[in-house]
Amino acid sequence: MAIIITDECINCGACEPECPNNAIYDAGAAWRFSDGTGLKGVIDFGDGVTLNAEETQAALSDDIYYIVPDKCTECVGFHDEPQCAAVCPVDCCVDDENVRETREELLAKKDWLHINE
């Protein structure tokens, strides 16, 4: 699974510094796989898709804070619960029903994100 931020977000920013993968970005902010991770240079997603970790990616939302699902591990391997959800004052950091991952997949993603650290 991954966490999403719903449109009930008040843009307080409490969640952003809590993410151990730097998967949370301010509305309209561009993002990179290299932000807050050990990923550098060309990264391979294992399905034939590659991309430069330092390449800027377009914002996923222009209105509210957002979470990059490819960087979200629900804090597995870092904390007992997703920290964004724990600190959100309006409970808008919720389970993304469209992105389902097992604990093992989330741990593997964590290891991949922090491979060079």
**pLDDT at site 22:** 97
**pLDDT at site 45:** 84
Residue with tokens 């960087």: 71
* Parts of the chain with a pLDDT under 50: none
| DSSP-assigned letter for residue 98 | T
The residue extents of the domains of the chain are 1-116
- Whether the full predicted model's pTM is greater than 0.75, yes or no, is yes
Tens of pLDDT, residue by residue over 59-83, are 999 999 999 999 999 999 999 999 9
For the four alpha carbons of 90, 27, 21 and 108, in that order, the dihedral sign comes to positive
Least Cα distance to 92 among 57, 63, 58, 70 occurs for: 63
State which CATH number among 3.40.50.1820, 3.40.50.2300, 3.30.1340.10, 3.30.70.20 fits the domain covering 1-116: 3.30.70.20
